[in-house]
Structure 1
């Protein structure tokens, strides 16, 4: 719970979001954040009437000034869709902001500053301070320049979708699929968010291109499962980690982690052979898939999911680089001026993954992977995102 004396400010009111076009909205949000962190005096006109009932602008400014003390001058603001990283000389501050149709603030949230890394050694030091298990891999033109647990297996959540994309690219290159091919959603494809396609009716006609774009842009789980069905589990498995005997669909994982299959999840954690894993996945067909509320504040099971090492994810990013779908979302590379970008993240309770790859203006190719697993508590996904943004800036 937030109190006036804490250094963690959170004021979240889920009200109307801006209807402005995305680019204009991004500029408006960034400009407002710039005002909040640099202005000598706040104006009530910046805040919606509803938010003014929850905060006093002068007191809020005092709290924010305390939060931002001793981290240097503002350098730049990076982000979009209401989620931003504010870079100061000594630290990065993550912020959430929502503006209404009049440009007034309805939601504002600042997280505590994360020290800004001035070298990959600094970055590694910050990563090692995180509770739980972490991994780092930085490649420059394919050569390792920084690493920590880079070859150890980690649960990576949706970052596994790089393997699905790699399998799809292989099928496209072989002429076995075409981006314009039309397929039809099946009942077995429909799963839980992230994404929107779980709301689409069975037998909806979609192209392979739509599935690939939805998977990478929105991390759409239904699009992912449909692609896996079309490609075949074995083809996707060819791009999987050595530590993952079989690649489950998102629906299968949501079933394993749901309340109707806890016994299967326990068996999954102790399975040793591909045959055992496949048999368990077959048994999920008779169990009910979990619901969204089952995964909110519940048990953390980083031992049930998709397992990859940082080096394996880096290799996948390199394989799909140059494919237009791979960089449909720039993520941590936003504003870096990179080309041939590949970006994929992943998060479930206790698990966070960040993967970014691209070619900088100097012609060098960079790949950065950060992984974080905890068994006792949830991970701070925004903290990991701040670290990978710092890593990208170190390449400039």
Structure 2
């Protein structure tokens, strides 16, 4: 995270953010951690919600869409029923619906008051869904045309462990050409880039500021997965080996394992699945601890990263939280100025035990101080291909299932696409997504979109930010039908 690392010839899109009465109230009390936002490509190490929201979006009435029969979809339906009810919101059933992580931060009575604010604008109609499995973003439209995005995640028991209402994203007109995709990227903040690679010949179908190393958030977990796979191949680790949650390895959301009691065990494969599918930070740190920091640093080189030294020492998610939002600014300054040895020495001073970093503190961008993980689009393309190569081996057999569990855009598998692997990442001021795609005709592609800003609100909306990537994937699908 270095200031001035990004270059672009595009003009910045400056937007004015103003508080709308309803949205301001919701933002003030519902800015609770939403697990990974991975259904839209916004997976990350620290997931935080913006403290400022734009004026609520209004749009012409749109047709209703159905909600998916998934854990997140079922709870979104529960929320929709509550905010469309004729009677005021009561707390009955809250303890059966909301996980303790929510109710411990927001009393049921206060949560009911917020939902009542939303109910006052009823009726609400779902007009767009971007969801997969345990999380999703559901765009709702009121009778007056107001749009609100309900971001929601659930835990393993199906209880809501993350909820956030934000300004809605209008249903957008997809790009009809690569020129229009490039125009879409140009409308994003400076520092945004998009690359589309055809794997067969390695050519870039589209390359917009893709050769600059940018912060990637939780996409770094691809390199952890490379290290894990290589350890299994070497016989020093197995997919069935047990990993144990401890307070010294416990990180912060996104994820689920941060809430697991000390002593909880998961297998390496279970941890890897959580690390990729829901961007579980604690699962990631368990895996990093199992293989060791040097192995992950070696994975950077082995997976084709052009500048692996840029990411050494390789941070765990816990260390990023501690350095980014748990120390004085002077310590971050020391990190930024230190060489490799100095940074490793600084990591040794970080305390063990339970982290005492409130979620509300994780709002300020720190990537400018080298506190993130950095890669170019081509680096990430090589990482995806390295994992697919390993997936073709006996030791790497689980990798395709792990990488394909959540494709980031809720794309249908079995039509245009026979397989999609995905990893996304986000942090304050950072948004990135990477897709490995196998088309039904056998062609393979990698799509990478990245963005970073000193103003976190500029890259806080994954549904808006990843429009160009979604359009690029749609154009590739259309090409396969011709």
Q: TM-score, normalised by structure 2?
A: 0.63
Aligned-partner SS, 1:354: strand
> Paired residue for 2:407?
330
Matched, 1:139 2:197: yes
Query: Residue 71 of structure 1 aligns with which residue?
Result: none
Instruction: Give the match's secondary structure for 2:220.
Output: helix
Q: In 2, are the aligned partners of 1:155 and 1:305 still within 8 Å (CA)?
A: yes
Q: Name the residue aligned to 1:214.
A: 274
- Give 1:165 deviation, angstroms: 0.9
Tell me the secondary structure at the aligned position of residue 150 of structure 2: strand
- Structure-2 separation of matches of 1:220 and 1:315: 23
User: What CA distance in whole angstroms lies between the structure 1 residues aligned with 2:252 and 2:82?
Assistant: 40
- Report the equivalent of 1:79: 131
Q: Which residue of 2 aligns with 1:343?
A: 422
Equivalent in the alignment of 2:250: 190
Does 1:96 find its partner at 2:150? yes
Alpha-carbon spacing, 1:386–1:214, altered in 2? closer, same or farther (3 Å): same
**How far did 1:329 drift?**
1.1
* SS of corresponding position for 1:177: coil
Matched with 2:381 is 314
Count of aligned residue pairs for this structure pair: 347
Deviation at 1:287, TM superposition (A): 10
**Structure-2 separation of matches of 1:252 and 1:380:** 23
Q: Deviations over 1:119-157 (max 9, x none)?
A: 233222211221231121111123211112222111111
Q: Distance in 2 between matches of 1:21 and 1:332?
A: 16
Question: Structure 1: any 5+ residue segments left out of the alignment?
Answer: 11-17, 34-43, 65-73, 87-92, 99-106
Q: Name the CA distance, whole Å, in 1 between partners of 2:262 and 2:360.
A: 24
Structure 1 partner of 2:284: 224
Distance 1:112 1:28, change over 3 A: closer
Q: State yes or no: 1:393 paired with 2:474.
A: yes
Alignment equivalent of 1:299, drawn from 364, 369, 379 = 364
Match of 1:358, SS state, is: strand
The answer as to whether partners of 1:127 and 1:134 remain within 8 angstroms in 2 is: yes
Distance 1:46 1:108, change over 3 A: farther
Look up the match of 1:265.
332
TM-score by length of structure 1 reads 0.76
**Residue of structure 1 in register with 2:225 after alignment:** 165
SS at match of 2:175: coil
Displacement of 1:78: 5.2
Per-residue deviation at 1:108? 9.5
1:181 aligns to 2:181 (yes or no):
no
Unmatched tracts of structure 2, length 5 or more: 1-18, 23-54, 60-66, 89-115, 141-146, 153-164, 392-398, 478-482
Distance 1:45 1:203 in 2: 38
- The separation in 1 between residues aligned to 2:210 and 2:341, in whole angstroms, is 28
2:436 is aligned with 1:365:
no
Change (3 A) 1:45 1:253: closer
Bigger relative contact order, structure 1 or 2 (CA pairs below 8 A, ≥6 apart): 2
Q: Distance in 2 between matches of 1:173 and 1:325?
A: 17
In 2, are the aligned partners of 1:261 and 1:287 still within 8 Å (CA)? Answer: no
Between stretches 170-179 and 347-356, larger displacement belongs to 170-179
Q: Counterpart of 2:453?
A: 374
How far residue 191 of structure 1 moved from its aligned partner, in angstroms, is 1.0
Could you say if the C-alpha distance between residues 84 and 361 of structure 1 is closer, same or farther in structure 2, counting changes exceeding 3 Å? farther
Aligned-CA RMSD value? 3.6
Residues 372/181 of structure 1: CA separation in 2 closer, same or farther (3 Å cut): same
Aligned runs of 1:51-130 on 2, under 5 Å? 53-55=119-121, 57=123, 79-80=131-132, 81-84=135-138, 95-96=149-150, 110-130=168-188
Name the stretch that deviates more: 344-353 or 181-190. 181-190
Cα pair 1:184 1:203 within 8 Å, conserved: yes
Distance 1:24 1:226 in 2: 26
